[in-house]
Amino acid sequence: TTRTPEFLGIAGSGQGLFPQSGTAGDVVVGVLDTGVWPESKSYDDTGLAEVPSWWKGECMAGTAFNSSACNRKLVGARFFNKGYEAAMGRMDTDRESRSPRDDDGHGTHTSSTAAGAAVSDASLFGFASGTARGMAPKARVAVYKVCWLGGCLSSDILAGMDAAVSDGCGVLSLSLGGGAADYARDSVAIGAFAAMEQNVLVSCSAGNTGPGSSTLSNVAPWITTVGAGTLDRDFPAYVALGNGKNYTGVSLYAGKALPNTPLPIVYAANVSNSTAGNLCMPGTLTPEKVAGKIVVCDRGVSARVQKGFVVRDALGAGMVLANTAANGQELVADAHLLPAAGVGDREGTAIKSYVASDPNPTATIVIAGTHVDVHPSPVVAAFSSRGPNMVTPEILKPDIIAPGVNILAAWTGKAGPTGLVADTRRVGFNIISGTSMSCPHVSGLAALLRSAHPEWSPAALRSALMTTAYAAYSGGSPLLDAATGATATPFDYGAGHVDPARAVDPGLVYDLGTRDYVDFLCALKYSSTMIAAVARSREYACDEKKTYSVGNLNYPSFSVVYYTANGDGSNSAATTVTHTRTLTNVGGPGKYKVSTAFAAKGVAMDVEPAELEFTSVGEKKSYTVRFTSKSQPSGTTGFGRLVWSDGKHNVASPIAFTWT
Partner 1 sequence: AVEQRATYIVHMAKSAMPAEYADHGEWYGASLRSVSAGSAAKMLYAYDTVLHGFSARLTAQEASDMACMEGVLAVNPEARYELH
The binding site for partner 1 (CB under 8 A) comprises: 33-34, 80, 82-83, 86-87, 106, 147, 151-155, 157-159, 161-163, 165-166, 175-178, 181, 184-188, 190-191, 193-195, 198, 205-208, 434-436, 439, 529-530, 532-533, 536-539
Task: Please state, in angstroms and rounded to a whole number, the distance separating the CA atoms of residues 274 and 372.
Answer: 40
> Is residue 293 within 8 Å of residue 270, measured between CB atoms?
no
Least distance in Å: CB of 449 to partner 1? 23
What distance separates the 2 farthest-apart alpha carbons in the chain?
A: 80
Q: Is 312 helix (H, G, I), strand (E, B) or coil?
A: helix
Task: Please state, in angstroms and rounded to a whole number, the distance separating the CA atoms of residues 530 and 534.
Answer: 6
The nearer residue to partner 1, 383 or 627, going by C-beta atoms, is 383
The nearer residue to partner 1, 317 or 439, going by C-beta atoms, is 439
What secondary structure letter does DSSP report for 97? -
Residue type, 450: R
Task: Please state, in angstroms and rounded to a whole number, the distance separating the CA atoms of residues 199 and 346.
Answer: 48
Q: Classify residue 217 by burial, with Cβ atoms within 10 Å: 0-12, 13-18, 19+.
A: buried
Least distance in Å: CB of 230 to partner 1? 17
Cis ω for the linkage preceding 211 (within 30 of 0): yes
The nearer residue to partner 1, 95 or 626, going by C-beta atoms, is 95
SS (H, E, C) 197-260: HCCCEEEEECCCCCCCCCCCCCCCCCCEEEEEECCCEECEEEEEECCCCEEEEECCCCCCCCCC
The nearer residue to partner 1, 122 or 194, going by C-beta atoms, is 194
Least distance in Å: CB of 556 to partner 1? 23
Q: Classify residue 366 by burial, with Cβ atoms within 10 Å: 0-12, 13-18, 19+.
A: middle
Phi, psi of 444 (to 5 degrees): -65, -40
Task: Please state, in angstroms and rounded to a whole number, the distance separating the CA atoms of residues 494 and 277.
Answer: 38
The nearer residue to partner 1, 268 or 521, going by C-beta atoms, is 521
The nearer residue to partner 1, 73 or 109, going by C-beta atoms, is 109
Task: Please state, in angstroms and rounded to a whole number, the distance separating the CA atoms of residues 221 and 202.
Answer: 11
Least distance in Å: CB of 590 to partner 1? 38
Which residues are tagged catalytic?
33, 106, 436
> Is residue 79 within 8 Å of residue 100, measured between CB atoms?
yes
- The residue length of the chain stands at 660
Neighbouring residues of 397: CB distance < 8 A, sequence distance ≥ 6: 206, 216, 219, 225, 387, 389, 494
The nearer residue to partner 1, 492 or 646, going by C-beta atoms, is 492
Task: Please state, in angstroms and rounded to a whole number, the distance separating the CA atoms of residues 74 and 634.
Answer: 52
Task: Please state, in angstroms and rounded to a whole number, the distance separating the CA atoms of residues 202 and 222.
Answer: 8
Task: Please state, in angstroms and rounded to a whole number, the distance separating the CA atoms of residues 236 and 651.
Answer: 38
The nearer residue to partner 1, 197 or 505, going by C-beta atoms, is 197
Task: Please state, in angstroms and rounded to a whole number, the distance separating the CA atoms of residues 641 and 651.
Answer: 10
What secondary structure letter does DSSP report for 65? B
The nearer residue to partner 1, 277 or 398, going by C-beta atoms, is 398
Least distance in Å: CB of 29 to partner 1? 17
Least distance in Å: CB of 146 to partner 1? 9
306-310 contact pairs (CB < 8 A, 24+):
306/282, 306/418, 306/420, 307/279, 307/280, 308/334, 308/336, 308/337, 308/338, 308/340, 308/418, 309/337, 309/418, 309/420, 309/422, 309/423, 310/280, 310/281, 310/282, 310/283, 310/284, 310/285
The nearer residue to partner 1, 150 or 633, going by C-beta atoms, is 150
The nearer residue to partner 1, 198 or 576, going by C-beta atoms, is 198
Least distance in Å: CB of 147 to partner 1? 6
Q: Is 188 helix (H, G, I), strand (E, B) or coil?
A: helix
Least distance in Å: CB of 377 to partner 1? 21
Half-sphere exposure of 204 (CA within 13 A, CB side): 29
Q: In terms of Cα–Cα distance, which of 461, 419, 420 is closest to 443?
A: 461
Neighbouring residues of 288: CB distance < 8 A, sequence distance ≥ 6: none
Least distance in Å: CB of 113 to partner 1? 13
Least distance in Å: CB of 31 to partner 1? 12
The nearer residue to partner 1, 186 or 298, going by C-beta atoms, is 186
> Is residue 308 within 8 Å of residue 331, measured between CB atoms?
no
Least distance in Å: CB of 307 to partner 1? 20
Least distance in Å: CB of 433 to partner 1? 10
Phi, psi of 426 (to 5 degrees): -125, 135
